[in-house]
Structure 1
Amino acid sequence: MTAATFTRSWPSVSAWGAGLIIAALGAGAIVRSDSGAAASGLGIGMVVLGLASLAWGAATLSTGRLVVPRVALGGALAALAATTALMFVASAHTSIIGVAAASLLLVVVGATTAVHLRRRAPQNRRSAQPMSVTGLLVAAAVIAVLVTPALGATQDAVLLRDDGTVPVVTHDGH
């Protein structure tokens, strides 16, 4: 196994993690009863970017190569800008942990696609190469450690009351 086959799965898994967090942040901005038009608009855009990130990750993993790298780089930059903007528009109900984790994962996707674009010759199409199962498992473990707490913190930020408490949701009777 080479370093290239080990790290080939990281961008797709990072895109999935970022997509989940971005979609959660966007959904939180949409469903809050006190969200203004700016927060709702950003939320809708972030949900779309999150779903696009999930689709791009799936396409990249299934083909074994970075698909539409220019679009992916633009999407990563747009998602970074949207998450940053949401921090300013709805800072009281936006999770800093969610934003930080999504930003880190988006940087991985953006840097990978930028390096790919820099190294690729326009006339030279590389064929798909196999991905490493070990690389995929390590990437999935790292992403799970980042994404799971970020999603929890995102939910807490959305549910945050004016007095600074988060309600406990019970599932009695289920």
Structure 2
Amino acid sequence: MTAATFVRSWPSVFAWGAGLITAALGAGAITRPDSGAVADGLGIGLVALGLAALAWGGVVLWAGRLVVPALVLGGSLITIFGVTALLFVVPAHTSVLAVAAASLLLVIVGASVAVHLRHQRRSASATRTAQPMSVVGLLVAAAVIAVVVTPALGATQNAVLLRDDGTVPVISHEGH
């Protein structure tokens, strides 16, 4: 197993993590009863971008190569700006941890596709054949994502549920 095969599966898994966090941030902006039109519009856009990241990650794993890298590079930048803008639109109910985690994952995805684009431009005769994915690389990436995404999603929920007095309600699941 080469280093390239080991790392090839990472962008798709990192896109899944960023997509989950982005969709959660967007959903949190939409579901707040006191959210305004700007927060709703930004939230809808972030949910769409999050779902697009999830779909792209699946297509990359299926195809065995990075697909539409230029579009993904632009989408990563737009998503980073979108989650950061949410911090300014709804600062009290947006998790800084979630925004930082999503941005970090999106920077990794963007850097991966930028390197891919640069390599593709240097070798004009590059063929677009599917490359094998590394199961070990996929498992390591999934472990890294679990450590980053799970706390970010928890922080997103806490930020959305935050009351004006600074407390978070306890949700009981009695009878389950």
TM-score, structure 1 normalization: 0.98
Q: How far off is 1:157 after superposition?
A: 0.2
2:82 aligned partner: 82
Q: Does the alignment pair 1:116 with 2:147?
A: no
1:42 aligned partner: 42
2:33 aligned partner: 33
- Report the AA paired with residue 15 of structure 1: A
Uncovered stretches (5+) of structure 2, i.e. residues with no partner = none
User: Which SS does the other structure have where 1:120 is aligned?
Assistant: helix
Q: Percent identity?
A: 72
Deviations 1:118-153 (A, max 9, x none): 110355223111011100000000001100000000
After the TM superposition, which residues 54-73 of structure 1 pair with which residues of structure 2 at under 5 Å, given as runs? 54-73=54-73
TM-score, structure 2 normalization: 0.97
User: Which SS does the other structure have where 1:119 is aligned?
Assistant: helix
Query: Which of residues 135, 138, 149 is equivalent to 1:136?
Result: 138
Q: How many residues are paired up?
A: 174
Q: How far off is 1:158 after superposition?
A: 0.1
Task: Spell out structure 1 runs of 4+ moving beyond 3 A.
Answer: none
1:171 aligned partner: 173
Q: How far off is 1:173 after superposition?
A: 2.0
Q: Following the alignment from structure 1 to structure 2, what is the Cα–Cα distance between the partners of residues 125 and 38?
A: 44
Q: Following the alignment from structure 1 to structure 2, what is the Cα–Cα distance between the partners of residues 68 and 126?
A: 12
Q: Following the alignment from structure 1 to structure 2, what is the Cα–Cα distance between the partners of residues 79 and 31?
A: 19
Q: Following the alignment from structure 1 to structure 2, what is the Cα–Cα distance between the partners of residues 173 and 2?
A: 51
Alignment root-mean-square deviation, CA: 0.8
Q: Following the alignment from structure 2 to structure 1, what is the Cα–Cα distance between the partners of residues 125 and 32?
A: 49
Q: Following the alignment from structure 2 to structure 1, what is the Cα–Cα distance between the partners of residues 60 and 73?
A: 13
Q: Following the alignment from structure 1 to structure 2, what is the Cα–Cα distance between the partners of residues 81 and 118?
A: 23
Q: Following the alignment from structure 1 to structure 2, what is the Cα–Cα distance between the partners of residues 91 and 41?
A: 16
Q: Following the alignment from structure 1 to structure 2, what is the Cα–Cα distance between the partners of residues 55 and 75?
A: 13
Q: Following the alignment from structure 1 to structure 2, what is the Cα–Cα distance between the partners of residues 96 and 8?
A: 29
- Report the AA paired with residue 141 of structure 1: A
